Amino acid sequence: MAVDFQQLAVEGVRGLMPYQPGKPIDELARELGLKEADIVKLASNENPMGPSPKALAAIQAELADLTRYPDGAGFELKKALCNTLSSDAYQVAPEQITLGNGSSDILDFITRVFVNDGDEIVVSQHAFAIYELVARMVGARTLAAPAKDFGHDLDAMLALIGDKTRIVFITNPNNPTGTWLTKDELTAFLDKVPERVLVLLDEAYFEYVDEAEYPDGIQLLSRYPNLVITRTFSKAYGLASLRVGYGISSPQIADLLNRVRPPFNVDSFALAAAAAALSDDDYVAQSVAANKAGMQQLTAAFEALGLSFIPSVGNFIAFRVPEAMGAMDVYNQLLAKGVIVRPVANYEMPQYLRVSIGTQAENATFISALTAVLS
Ligand SMILES: *Cc1c(COP(=O)(O)O)cnc(C)c1O
C-alpha cells in the first residue's frame, strides 16, 4: 500500500496554499515567446531604478569571500542599521535587531515563537497574504476584521482580540490597498491592546510615506514593549532579489526571535549590499521622488480613463476595473501586451488590479496598454 504523505503532513500544512508571487518576467517571456526586454513588470512593488551603485560595489567586493560563511550575527549591518535608525528621541541597539531573509522571515519567526496550535491571530481584511500563511503553518486561526474604506478598522480589530489572541498584524501603509494609519490612530489602538498580545507593525513601505501624521514605529517602541516593527530592503532600497529585511523590538523579544532564526539566514552579499544601501541617502531620496512623480502619472491616467482607484502612499496603487469587464480578463489582456500587474482577488478585491509604480517609460507603456484593453 502506497503511503499517503498528505495525511502525514502536520495539520496546519495540509490546508496551506503557497504564496502567489507576481508573475516573473522570464515566465511570461517563455509563455508568449516575447523578449524579456519587451516586458514591463509592475507586479511586485520593486524599485524600478535598480539597486544603489553603492550596493552593487559592495557585492563586487564581497565576491572575494564567496567561499566563507557569512557573519551569522550580521554585526556590520546591525551597526549600520543602528546608525541609520537611531535619533535623539530613540536609540536603537544591535540587541533589538533580528535579521531576516526578507522581512517575511521575521513574520515566520514571530509566529513560531509566540503562537501555539489553536491560538488566534488578528489581521485586517485586505491584509498581506503572508500573515495568514505563517499563522496556519503553526495551526493558528486567523480572524480578519472588515476593512473601513479599504484601510484597517482598528476598533474592529481590537474587538476581535480575545484570550487566544497572540499577535495582531498591522501593515502601515497596507499592501495592496496603500491605505495608512496616523500616529494618533495607531497609539490609541496600542494603548488598548493587552500587553500580553504582540503587535507586529509591518513597515515594508515606510521610506515612501511623506505624510506629517504618519508614525515612525521605532519611536513607539519605548512606550509599547509588545511592539515588533518589520522593515525590508526589498522595496525602496531596491534589493528584493537578495532577500534581506529585519525586525526591531525589545532585546527580550529579539532574543527569542533569534533562537528560531536559521543559522546564516542572510548571505554575505545581502549583508554587505544592505549596509551599503543604508549609506546612500541620495538613492532613496531619488527613488521616493521618482515614485511620487510616477504616482501622479498613474492617477492622472486613471482619472482620464474614468477609473476609480484607492489613494495610496506606497509604491503601488490598486484601481477598479469597470463592471463590464472582469479584472482577470483585463489582467490577461495586459499580459498579452507584455505588461504584468497583480490580481488581488485573493485579497478579497476581485474587481481590482494592483500596479506598482515603474519608471516613467514603464508607466507610459502600462497606461497605453490599459487604454487599449479598456477601449
Ligand atoms: C513586500 C512586503 C514585505 C516584504 O517582503 P520581503 O520578505 O522583505 O521581501 C513585507 N510586508 C508587506 C506588506 C509587503 O508588501
Same domain? 145 vs 32? no
Domain assignment of residue 2, yes or no: no
Q: b/e map of 235-261 (b: 16 or more CB within 10 Å)?
A: bbbbbbebbbbbbbbbeebbebbbeeb
CB atoms within 10 A of CB 375: 6
DSSP summary character for residue 310: E
68 within a domain of the structure (yes/no): yes
Question: Within this chain, do residues 219 and 311 fall inside the same structural domain, yes or no?
Answer: no
DSSP codes of every residue in 254-277: HHHHHHHSPTT-S-HHHHHHHHHH
Q: How many domains does one find in the chain? A: 2
Strand partners, 141: 120
Q: What is the best residue among 234, 242, 317 to mutate for testing ligand 1's pocket, by most ligand atoms within 8 Å of CB?
A: 234
How is residue 23 written as a grid cell?
508573475
Query: If you average pLDDT over every residue of the chain, what do you get?
Result: 96
| Nearest in space to 44 (alpha carbons), one of 314, 367, 284 | 314
Q: What is the pLDDT of residues 247-288, one digit of tens each?
A: 999 999 999 999 999 999 999 999 999 999 999 999 999 999
* 106 part of a folded domain: yes
Q: How far is the CA of 364 from the centre of ligand 1 (A)?
A: 26
Q: Phi then psi for 343, rounded to 5 degrees?
A: -70, 145
Q: Looking at 279, 294, 323, which one is the last position of a domain? A: 279
* Domain shared by 242 and 319, yes or no: no
Q: Among residues 254, 279, 304, which one ends one of the domains?
A: 279
Residue 263 C-alpha from the chain's centroid: 23
H/E run at residue 174: none
- Rounded Cα distance, 97 and 368, in Å: 44
Q: Enumerate the β-bridge partners of residue 97.
A: 248
pLDDT tens-digit readout, 156-214: 999 999 999 999 999 999 999 999 999 999 999 999 999 999 999 999 999 999 999 99
Same domain, 165 and 84: yes
pLDDT tens track for 146-160:
999 999 999 999 999
The answer on 137 and 74 residing in a single domain is yes
- Asked whether residue 157 falls in the same domain as residue 235, the answer is yes
- Three-state DSSP class for 282? helix
Do 182 and 232 share a domain, yes or no?
yes
Distance, CA 63 to ligand 1 centroid (Å)? 27
Over residues 76-100, mean pLDDT = 97
| CA distance readout (Å), 27 to 42, 70, 340, 344 | 14, 31, 11, 20
Cα–Cα distance measured from residue 168 to residue 227, given in angstroms and rounded to the nearest whole number: 10
Phi and psi at residue 102, in whole multiples of 5°? 85, 155
Instruction: Look at residue 7 and tell me if it is in a domain.
Output: no
CB 229 within 8 A of CB 257: no
Interstrand relation of 352-356 and 316-320 (parallel, antiparallel or unpaired): antiparallel
Residue nearest to atom 12 of ligand 1 (CA): 204
Residues 35 and 126 in one domain: no
φ, ψ for residue 194 (rounded to 5)?
-60, 145
Residues with Cβ within 8 Å of 91's Cβ and at least 6 positions away in sequence, in order, are 82
Is residue 14 assigned to a domain?
no
Indicate which residue's Cα is closest to atom 1 of ligand 1. Answer: 204
Q: Distance from the CA of 240 to the center of ligand 1, in angstroms? A: 9
CATH number of the domain where residue 347 is located: 3.90.1150.10
Nearest C-alpha neighbor of 314 from the set 154, 88, 128: 128
Q: Do both 150 and 252 map to the same domain?
A: yes
What pLDDT is attached to residue 16? 87
Please check whether residue 182 lies inside any domain of the structure: yes
State whether 63 and 200 are in the same domain.
yes
Q: Atom 11 in ligand 1: which residue has the minimum CA distance?
A: 204
At 263, which amino acid appears?
P
Separation CA 205–CA 234 (nearest Å): 9
Looking at ligand 1, which residue's alpha carbon is closest to its atom 3? 204
In this prediction, residue 19 carries a pLDDT of: 87
The backbone torsions φ and ψ at residue 231, rounded to the nearest 5 degrees and listed phi first, read -140, 170
Burial annotation 221-234 (CB, 10 A radius, 16+ → b, else e): beebebbbbbbbbb
Q: What is the CA radius of gyration of the chain?
A: 21
HSE (side-chain half, CA atoms, 13 Å) at 22: 22
- What angle is formed at CA 318 by the lines to CA 316 and CA 323, rounded to 5 degrees? 160
Segment 225-249 mean pLDDT: 98
CATH number at residue 263: 3.40.640.10
Give the orientation angle of helix 104-114 with respect to helix 129-137, to 10 degrees: 40
Check residue 335 and give its pLDDT.
Answer: 97
Say what the pLDDT of residue 14 is.
87
Question: Do 66 and 135 have their domain in common?
Answer: yes
In a domain, 4, yes or no: no
Render pLDDT for 4-27 as a digit per residue (tens, 0 to 9): 998 999 888 888 888 889 999 999
What pLDDT score does 17 carry?
A: 84
159 located within any domain: yes
Minimal CA–CA distance to 342: which of 331, 329, 350, 330?
A: 331
- Answer whether 0.95 is exceeded by the pTM: yes
- Within 6 A (CB) of ligand 1 lie 45, 102-104, 128, 171, 175, 202, 204, 232, 234-235, 240, 245
Domain-ending residue, one of 249, 279, 309: 279
Q: Do 123 and 41 fall into the same domain?
A: no
Q: Which domain holds residue 344?
A: 20-50+282-374
Say yes or no to pLDDT of 1 above 80. Answer: no
* Per-residue pLDDT, 297: 98
Amino acid at 199: V
